[in-house]
A and B are shown apart, each in its own frame.
Chain A
């Protein structure tokens, strides 16, 4: 077998190994325990090959797009701000990842330079360089998209926490406010002072019900 063929075989074997190695990092994760004792409007987190937000036994939003999350947490401004950021980052992540993939696949066209005869080296080199350039650009876009994925998930978790602190864990939701507990009973006022001045109510006592 000739040396150029041996070299080509070795290079392609190397490239195939690297390609397979790069796909080995794709490991999905799933939560094993779902929250059960939950307030009606409280958001809980799950992992099912991606971030999921649930409330009242139904999914509310799912990463990366998080559609529905801003509307669900609209009554808590800070949560809504994070939910909108999550949705925007998710859309950016998907867009950049798609374009990264397109450039990555398109860069394979640079291999056409191998079919060109050696006497037309400028064209061959140009195709190869263009192919490498497209691959590099695709990898850059995919890498930036990866950062947006992290941002999207982080904003979504923050939105969940801000919402739960204000509304969700207290038994309410943006559609239905939490039921208000009646005030504690008013303690009997202290005995009137000897000089006939008005009695001072005890600290923290709420006004009587019929006063509302």
Chain B
């Protein structure tokens, strides 16, 4: 009989915990292969989608994302557009600067560079995040049932009623904190998401900066028109 009471207690608790498991989102975004890194949502966190690159570029990206000092690279992102103010235009293709008598022009030239196949680099795992409320509540459930069954004998209606009352009291006292923890916390591993975001931003900055290890090896030349 006491084992059935325990099952009756388990059922509503299991129903309550079910929504906490498997909180994921299926993204329908597919990163194009144009050499630009992107932060992509995967299940419950952000992952870095970086173009295939060499080890030197990846090392520089990771160290920049971690805030370690970098060499000073010249930013080649600023380009003058005829008739307009100076703006930053990012193009994945090399840019040919054409100097004419009326001022500089910008042409986008296909230098035949093949876009790299993007790969998803999992950010280095930092310190293991503490479990969220859902994980703690699971251990709470086990503790509750174990404590209840270990402390009392299974015989007698009064003992079973006492067990049920004790379990109800524990549930009422513990569950508000668990619920508030679930309600106030953010799902997924935020540290992993933040690290992936840093890597994407660092890679794009390096790829857009002349002379950096991640800058495309463009073949361009300055053409001067008469």
Contact = CB atoms under 8 A, between A and B. Distances in A.
Contacts of B94: none
A202 to B, nearest CB: 15
A87 to B, nearest CB: 15
A21 B72 CA distance: 46
Contacts of A114: 169
B88 A39 contact: yes
A120 interface: no
A18 interface: yes
B40 interface: yes
Contact of A184 (B44, B107, B132): B107
Contacts of B77: 37
Contacts of A46: 197
A143 B27 CA distance: 21
Nearest to B20: A143
A149 B187 contact: yes
Given A18-B136, A128-B169, A135-B175, A25 B181 contact: yes
Contact of A157 (B39, B64, B98, B184): B39
B121 to A, nearest CB: 15
B75 interface: yes
B175 A104 contact: yes
Interface of A is mostly: helix
A147 B19 CA distance: 8
Interface footprint category on B: 35 or more
Contacts of B40: 157, 161
B29 A182 contact: no
A45 B225 CA distance: 42
Interface string A158-185: 1011101100011100000011011011
A122 B37 CA distance: 64
Contacts of A158: 27-29, 41
Contacts of A136: 12-13, 15-16, 175
Nearest to A101: B183
A70 interface: no
A15 B174 contact: yes
A11 B193 CA distance: 38
Given A24-B136, A46-B197, A150 B25 contact: yes
A140 interface: yes
B2 interface: no
A18 B75 CA distance: 53
A143 B18 contact: yes
Given A18-B143, A29-B190, A171-B87, A132 B201 contact: no
Contact of A14 (B31, B143, B176, B208): B143
A33 B173 contact: no
A139 interface: yes
Nearest to A44: B201
Contact of A100 (B168, B170, B183): B183
Given A39-B90, A162-B29, A20 B177 contact: yes
A1 interface: no
Interface string A1-44: 00000010011101111111111111111111111111110101
Contacts of B117: none
Given A14-B144, A31-B197, A42-B90, A139 B168 contact: no
A97 B188 contact: no
B183 A142 contact: yes
Contact of A29 (B108, B135, B193): B193
A161 B24 contact: no
A140 B98 CA distance: 64
Contacts of A169: 36, 90
Contact of A135 (B106, B176, B205): B176
Interface of B: 12-13, 15-20, 23-25, 27-29, 31-32, 36, 38-41, 44, 46, 64-67, 75, 77, 81-82, 84, 87-91, 98, 105-109, 129-137, 139-140, 143-144, 147, 151, 165-166, 168-188, 190-191, 193-194, 197-198, 200-202, 204-205, 208-209, 225
